[in-house]
Amino acid sequence: MQHVVILHEEEKVTSGGQRDVYAHPYDNTKLVKILKPSQNMPRHYNFNGWATRLFPSTRIRQIRKEYQEYLRVCLKYPTPDFNAPISHMYGFVVTNLGLGCLTERVTMPDGSLGKTLGSKVRAGALTDTDIVLLNNCISRIYGYEIRASDLNADNFVFGCRSNSHALGPMECVLVDGFGDIHAIPIRSMARWSNRLGLNDSCARLARNTNLHWDVKQRKLIRQT
């Protein structure tokens, strides 16, 4: 019989388009992502909405692509000094709410959950230091040729990562939205096509965060 992790509503820390995210009940270095029941999903009448209703396996495909990208990157950079700009993933766990994806928890020095780029922008609390950390994360996404299909402001989290039972330095981490989830996987075809996709995603991120995307320097800067 499998061990079942019991999750409670009060342990939910955030909710995305497809998954709810819970604090792990007895490991404060991890989070548990649970796919929302299909009957609880809002009906969208765009391409993705129709595709999800006609082909329910599309939702599972997104999770599979996320794990495939994480595995590809880790196998390509297996050295101990590799500092992944994406959150680490630890496989699956059976929960009372369904199969859960175990993922790294990015925390503040006081132990609270890390702050998203989106929350900082909405609160008017984005600092110059935050922008430096964000650009460092983006630079590593390009440098490690990571295929990231959804550079949403709420997918970037500022905080510390656990390292040998201690917290590391403050950084910015892409915690969701990586993996080539497009129907035609153009980003997976070549380095140049992935970079074009990243350029487009970063430009969109800049528009949604009141920043400017300098494509030549590959940096986000404040509007002048």
Regarding predicted confidence, which is higher, 127 or 57? 127
Domain ranges of the chain: 9-222
> pTM of the entire structure?
0.89
Q: 163 falls in which pLDDT band (50, 70, 90)?
A: confident
Q: Comparing 183 with 107, which gets the higher pLDDT?
A: 107
Q: What is the pLDDT of residue 47?
A: 46
3-state secondary structure of 5: strand
Does 153 or 81 have the greater pLDDT score? 153
For residue range 71-109, what is the model confidence (pLDDT) as tens digits? 999 999 999 889 999 999 999 999 999 999 999 999 999
DSSP 108-140: -TTSSBPEEHHHHHHTT---HHHHHHHHHHHHH
- Judged by average pLDDT, the poorest of 95-109, 126-140, 147-161, 175-189 is 175-189
Give the H or E element holding residue 80: none
Over range 198-206, report the average pLDDT.
96
Residue 115 predicted with pLDDT over 70: yes
The strand order across the sheet containing 171-174 reads: 115-116, 156-159, 171-174
How confident is the model at residue 190, as a pLDDT?
82
Q: What is the pLDDT of residues 28-59, one digit of tens each?
A: 999 999 998 865 555 554 445 545 554 556 67
Mean pLDDT, the chain, integer: 89
Architecture of domain 9-222: Orthogonal Bundle (1.10)
